[in-house]
Amino acid sequence: KAGVTQTPRYLIKTRGQQVTLSCSPISGHRSVSWYQQTPGQGLQFLFEYFSETQRNKGNFPGRFSGRQFSNSRSEMNVSTLELGDSALYLCASSSGRGEEEQYFGPGTRLTVT
């Protein structure tokens, strides 16, 4: 079974630009969660999508948005990039029910200059 894949793995953007990151969950999984990892703030929850609906949302500004497609693939978008958005963005997939394990992808390293 293929694991969680994230594309691209590395990205460099300029302040003010926007960026879209992609996450393909494990086949059959319907839940995708996104996290931001920075040295200063650690791992912070962005949002979770289940069956194309946002099920939960963290405390991030509206510049951070996401969506999920019918095949469970998910994208997150950050508009008007700021230097502080430089981070490793991780996604995790699970079936979405019960106490099952979440599987993390390798992450996308975003650098904003």
Partner 1 sequence: GDSVTQMEGPVTLSEEAFLTINCTYTATGYPSLFWYVQYPGEGLQLLLKATKADDKGSNKGFEATYRKETTSFHLEKGSVQVSDSAVYFCALRIKAAGNKLTFGGGTRVLVKP
- Residues lying near partner 1 in the complex (CB under 8 A) are found at 4, 31, 33, 35, 42-45, 48, 50, 55-56, 58, 90, 92, 94, 96, 99, 101-107
Of the two residues 48 and 85, which places its CB atom closer to partner 1 in the complex? 48
Judged by CB, which is closer to partner 1: 41, or 71?
41
85 or 108: whose CB is closer to partner 1?
108
**DSSP strands (E only) in 1-113:** 5-7, 10-13, 19-24, 31-38, 42-50, 53-57, 64-68, 74-78, 87-94, 103-104, 108-112
Least Å from the CB of residue 75 to partner 1 = 18
